């Protein structure tokens, strides 16, 4: 099963209306025949108040619409979507695990139809692994004679990545995944949960900047963008490549990015990259 499409990054649906306060004000002034409207006119001030209230009502309607969309719902709204529209293989609704993050719960909901099959297809195995414990960040399944599992037919390996630490799961987490999936697997499969291989790496970058009053702020913004990128790629099969690091570090004020002793980190489906050190410094000015 692939990660699929991140719905939140798609263009917003037409049901979410763009709001332009000036357009609302102009429309109210025209309908009220305020030909020479100006802030000193008491009637115009009433029109401004009405326009502001209409804008807030439209924004509220937009938020209500977004709250029933899987891509944008959060908190109790997301819980409601899970209970109402998605079904677990046991027949009950797909509910949030204890302390499960919104993004993780959303991912499980999006892929829950995979779990309606018994845990034989890759997608079903992965859905059930993610449902086994809140600390499961990612999972990949490998059948006989794969790159990870070279055992006899009928043996299935589930590689697990954890939310905690560098991603290597604890023995307790692997035991929880194994116990959860064992009764859900096809009777012919011999299932084993295994730890993902985590590749540690370091990013050391120097930024050549424009002269300005606050280059430290620019450096911090570049660092934050790089942190987001490496965090997003902390997943099975993740890739940390030079072109994306340059993109993340190139913010307004940065003229050039220099990576020190860098080699791309390309992980296999059973591996995940983990950034052990991320250092961004100012390497000069233009």
Q: Where are the domains of the chain?
A: 7-66, 101-195, 198-285
Are 48 and 40 spatial neighbours (Cβ–Cβ below 8 Å)?
no
Average pLDDT, the chain: 87
The pLDDT, as a whole number, for residue 14 is 67
User: pTM (2 decimals)?
Assistant: 0.75
Q: What is the pLDDT of residues 134-188, one digit of tens each?
A: 999 999 988 765 656 655 677 888 999 999 999 999 999 999 999 999 888 888 8
Which stretches of the chain score pLDDT less than 70? 1-14, 16, 119, 144-152
Are 265 and 276 spatial neighbours (Cβ–Cβ below 8 Å)?
no
Helix, strand or coil, per DSSP, at residue 163:
coil
**Which residue from 163, 173, 142, 104 is spatially nearest to 268, judged by alpha carbons?**
142
Give me the sign of the Cα torsion angle 27, 31, 33, 37. Answer: negative
The pLDDT, as a whole number, for residue 151 is 58
The pLDDT, as a whole number, for residue 8 is 66
The pLDDT, as a whole number, for residue 32 is 84
Are 115 and 238 spatial neighbours (Cβ–Cβ below 8 Å)?
no
- Give the distance, in angstroms, between the CA of residue 133 and the centroid of all CA atoms in the same chain: 18
C-alpha 90/C-alpha 116 separation (Å) is: 9
Query: Strand runs (DSSP E) across the chain, as ranges?
Result: 136-142, 155-162, 190-195, 197-209, 239-240, 254-259, 265-266, 271-285
The pLDDT, as a whole number, for residue 134 is 92
The pLDDT, as a whole number, for residue 176 is 95
The pLDDT, as a whole number, for residue 200 is 97
- Class in CATH terms, 101-195: alpha beta
The pLDDT, as a whole number, for residue 5 is 67
Give me the sign of the Cα torsion angle 63, 66, 71, 75. Answer: positive
The pLDDT, as a whole number, for residue 68 is 84
**Which residue from 83, 126, 84 is spatially nearest to 107, judged by alpha carbons?**
126
Q: What is the pLDDT of residues 243-257, one digit of tens each?
A: 999 999 999 999 999
- From residue 121, give the alpha-carbon distance in Å to each of 55, 67, 95, 225, 246: 49, 32, 22, 36, 38
C-alpha 126/C-alpha 163 separation (Å) is: 15
Count of helices and strands (H, E) across the chain: 8, 8
């Amino acid at each position: 099963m692939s990660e699929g499409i991140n719905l939140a990054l798609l263009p917003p649906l037409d049901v979410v209306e763009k709001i332009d306060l000036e357009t609302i004000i102009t429309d109210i002034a025209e309908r009220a025949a305020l030909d020479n409207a100006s802030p000193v006119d008491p009637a115009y001030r009433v029109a401004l108040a009405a326009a502001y209230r209409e804008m807030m009502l439209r924004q509220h309607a937009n938020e209500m619409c977004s709250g029933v969309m899987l891509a944008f719902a959060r908190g109790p709204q997301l819980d409601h979507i899970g209970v109402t529209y998605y079904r677990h293989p046991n027949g009950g609704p797909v509910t949030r695990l204890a302390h499960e993050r919104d993004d993780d719960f959303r991912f499980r909901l999006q892929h829950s139809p995979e779990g309606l099959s018994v845990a034989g297809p890759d997608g079903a195995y992965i859905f059930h692994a993610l449902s086994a414990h809140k600390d499961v960040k990612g999972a990949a399944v490998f059948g006989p004679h794969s790159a990870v599992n070279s055992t006899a037919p009928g043996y299935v390996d589930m590689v697990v990545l954890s939310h905690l630490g560098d991603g290597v799961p604890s023995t307790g987490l692997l035991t929880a995944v194994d116990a959860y999936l064992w009764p859900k697997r096809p009777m012919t499969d011999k299932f084993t949960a295994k730890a993902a291989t985590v590749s540690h790496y370091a990013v050391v970058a120097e930024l050549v900047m424009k002269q300005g009053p606050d280059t430290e702020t620019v450096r911090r913004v570049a660092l934050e963008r790089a942190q987001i990128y490496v965090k997003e790629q902390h997943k099975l099969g993740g890739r940390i490549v030079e072109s994306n690091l340059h993109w993340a570090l190139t913010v307004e004020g940065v003229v050039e990015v220099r990576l020190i002793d860098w080699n791309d980190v390309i992980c296999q489906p059973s591996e995940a990259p983990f950034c052990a050190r991320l250092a961004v410094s100012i390497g000069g000015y233009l």
